[in-house]
Amino acid sequence: MSINWVMLSDDGAFTPLPGEQTLYTSPPRTSLSLQSLAKQTHTEAFSIQSSAGHVYLTNRRVVYLPSSPTPTLQSFTVPLLNLHDTHVTAPWFGPNVWTSLLQPVSGGGIPAQHAALELKLTFKDGGAFDFHTGYERIKERLQQAVELARESGVAVGDGTERSAGRGGGALEGVDMGAVHLDQLPRYEEASRGEQGREREQQEQQQQRDSGVAVGRSEEGRKPEEEEVEIRPPAEEPFTPPLEPPPGYEEVQRDSVATELEQRLRESEERRYS
């Protein structure tokens, strides 16, 4: 970690290192807080503040340029692998804060008695989770590249910078071109798509083995295979019958006679009562 060590161009932008690419740029109202841990005594306390500025995430480091530079803080930079225990805090009220435990480098502007400092980046206009996601992704791939270089014997150490400098430093033997910067597709989605293609191929093979034609044309269809359109029977209009049904008159007479007899009996009963 170094204070006021970033090389700036005439327009105020930082000068990238060889092979360095910027992966994320924060909104302008991002604040920085760098201070010693709580266990430090008052005489050993160290603190640097900036209320607004830009945070840049590259494939090698994190760079902060304050909107209003001061003699104390004109720029800030820290190698990716010198940051530990990173996380995002989302309070109920207020902007999200990205916090990290920072390991200083010798000669970077931090007193030698500080083995670790607390770094806080407050994203007042949003972007904390985008920054954190990009940081975790590139840090993991950078660690893999460092491990491969160490196994090949071209690099030593874990990639953590120990001293300030403008050269390759701890990553000098690491092939930065092998560090993939683009976001890779999720493994679950890729495997699901591959399984779908395999399943489709298996179904087509089963259809061929069972004799079922696949993609049969209309011209090759046999006559007996022609589709027959089945239509529901047409409804005939209702026409009332012109003649009564058989036995209708006989039933009608019996019904009238029965009703008449019932009335006569009721009349006789009333007369003698």
Least confident residue range of 33-37, 63-67, 128-132: 33-37
Looking at residue 143, its pLDDT comes to 84
Cβ-contact 102, 119 below 8 angstroms: yes
Residue recorded with tokens 């209320």: 51
Would you say residue 1 has pLDDT above 80?
A: no
Least confident of 10-19, 26-35, 129-138: 10-19
The CA-based angle 210-213-216, given to 5 degrees, is 175
Please check the confidence at residue 74 and state whether its pLDDT lies above 90.
yes
Most confident of 32-46, 76-90, 208-222: 76-90
The pLDDT value recorded for residue 265 is 74
Q: Which of 50, 25, 199 is CA-nearest to residue 126?
A: 25
List the chain domain ranges: 2-178
pLDDT for 29 beyond 90? yes
Q: Answer with the residue of higher pLDDT: 262 or 27.
A: 27
The CATH architecture assigned to 2-178 reads: Roll (2.30)
Whole-angstrom distance, CA of residue 110 vs CA of residue 73: 12
Residue of 214 and 30 predicted with greater confidence: 30
**Residue 20 in this model has a pLDDT that exceeds 70:** yes
pLDDT of amino acid 158: 62
What average pLDDT does this structure show over 33-37? 91
In sequence order, which residues have a C-beta less than 8 Å from that of residue 50 and are 6 or more positions away? Answer: 31, 32, 33, 64, 66, 67, 68, 73
φ, ψ (nearest 5 deg) of residue 215: 70, 40
Query: What pLDDT, on a 0 to 100 scale, did the predictor assign at position 126?
Result: 94
**Percentage of residues in the chain with pLDDT exceeding 90?**
33
Residue with the two structure tokens 């435990």? 101
Predicted confidence (pLDDT) at residue 66 exceeds the cutoff of 90:
yes
Give yes or no for residue 172 having a pLDDT over 70.
Answer: no
Q: What is the pLDDT of residue 214?
A: 44
The amino acid at 54 = H
